[in-house]
A and B are shown apart, each in its own frame.
Chain A
């Protein structure tokens, strides 16, 4: 069976920000290849129009009036955050700003 290379797996894993164990890399080399072959079938479809449909909704998007609604307290805004620091949510330092 055809497989992706290790590098190809690591590339898509990086795009999706997913760390993989060595076993997973090996496992996904085959599994991802099957899915890539699946999606490649679209190339065989020859009979199609240019118009794209990205949503089944026909109508025009509704617009909201510019009014302020309910807001959260700082406590609720951070209530589910794994790491808090006062009213802030904390993450490891962001470099390369």
Chain B
């Protein structure tokens, strides 16, 4: 079996330019690896037209770094004519009739979509075990989860099936699986990447982002994904920039904050110790690292539950068996069509969240829960802004523990949220956040460092991340 996919994107690109390999070679290798690693359950759908697409590309000269590179797309991002299920029974035969804006960008860069990655149903969960198609496994230990909700994307890249994947992050769903599987995962600033074509879970929190093996490849892929989109009013117009531009810069003089909460007793000792080692290293290399007090961080999960479930209850109302998707049999009225279709079509986690979400918005509850959550959300955002007056970056561990065993959080509606306690505050404020691997624990499982930046300061995050990556190497 060839090993081209283990090379860096730059190296693969050179081989393609020199015509030593073709996009079809890469695709064949990826398909072989997917077939060989079927037990990882990383993909829900493999693109059966990808060989054909690769052959067509073989006639063309490579015009950019990602030309001809296979990529996995999380299955909540719509792809025209390629099944998009959101890992749900209710969409298990849904063929979209349009491409998400990011998919258009991927296609314009002539990347090859190898398939649709497994995930938690409608991205609701933290282990990908809520998938209608079963959980993807962690390539580092197949008895463990690869995290969620972008667990399939994480398994695919960490398992070497593809070098790149797109994930989505509503409350840590890119960074946490990246941490559990030892990948670089970026949740960009809210508004950086168009959400058009991302099946909404919580509209004010969702953001698409790249999951890759290296910091450089992450930043380079982000270059392709970003941009204001006239189809998404929440996408933001920004000057074009190269996110790789600070990669390799030293970190002397950088001002970094570590909130006490991020190394409090909620975090496994082995992980906090590792973070403390990183801090010493950063200080040694001339960065200023202060341990600081930061308010509201401990409220974030609470806010997340309220805002995400409320928005989800409305966003998922459209899955009703009328215009697309599954419709239950034996229905005799509009009411039974709704209730049966949704009762049979959704899994337990989704049902719980949209029932509670409907409750949150119902009557006077909207004021008690939803309005109040938006008020505290404003405060937590201002608190971040206050810290960022004095610091360039905020760091901490990405997760409180390493990847858990399969089945550990299943059917525990509360625990599912606690896996993301350290990453959720970032979504509240719409900030960019990234996981970079910082070694392994005593069981050989990856530990991740979480780097949070100011709005639209992804390049600064990559600067620190690339430095740490270099040291870890």
Interface residues of A (CB under 8 A from B): 9, 12-21, 24, 27-28, 31-32, 34-36, 38-39, 41-43, 45, 47-57, 59, 61-62, 64, 72, 76, 79-83, 89, 91-95
Contact = CB atoms under 8 A, between A and B. Distances in A.
Q: Which 9 A-B pairs have the closest CB atoms?
A: A56-B430, A19-B343, A80-B324, A82-B327, A15-B358, A19-B339, A53-B378, A52-B374, A17-B338
Interface stretch (B10-18, B65-73, B349-357): B349-357
B340 A80 contact: no
Nearest to B415: A34
A12 to B, nearest CB: 4
Contacts of A13: 339, 355
A59 B234 CA distance: 9
Interface residues of B, number: 74
Given A42-B302, A52-B374, A81-B322, A35 B356 contact: yes
Nearest to A15: B358
Contact of A53 (B94, B230, B377): B377
Contact of B236 (A12, A57, A72): A57
Contacts of B230: 62, 64
Contacts of B414: 34-35, 38
B50 interface: no
9 contacts: A15-B358, A19-B344, A36-B356, A55-B204, A57-B234, A80-B324, A81-B324, A82-B322, A93-B333
A77 to B, nearest CB: 9
Given A28-B355, A55-B234, A16 B313 contact: yes
Contacts of A39: 302, 305-306, 309, 356, 360, 369
B259 interface: no
B325 A53 contact: no
Nearest to B429: A56
Contacts of A41: 302
Interface in B41-91: none
B305 A52 contact: no
A62 B411 CA distance: 42
Interface string B326-366: 11000111111111101110101001101111111010000
Nearest to A21: B343
Contact of A49 (B190, B317, B369, B375): B375
A31 B413 contact: yes
B376 A42 contact: yes
B97 interface: yes
A56 B346 contact: no
Contacts of A61: 233
Nearest to B349: A31
Contact of B351 (A18, A47, A55): A18
A56 B204 contact: yes
A79 B97 contact: yes
B327 A16 contact: no
B104 to A, nearest CB: 14
A49 B342 contact: no
B40 interface: no
Contacts of B332: 92
Nearest to A83: B327
A89 B46 CA distance: 30
Nearest to A60: B233
Contacts of B429: 56
B338 to A, nearest CB: 4
B39 interface: no
Contacts of B160: none
B376 to A, nearest CB: 5
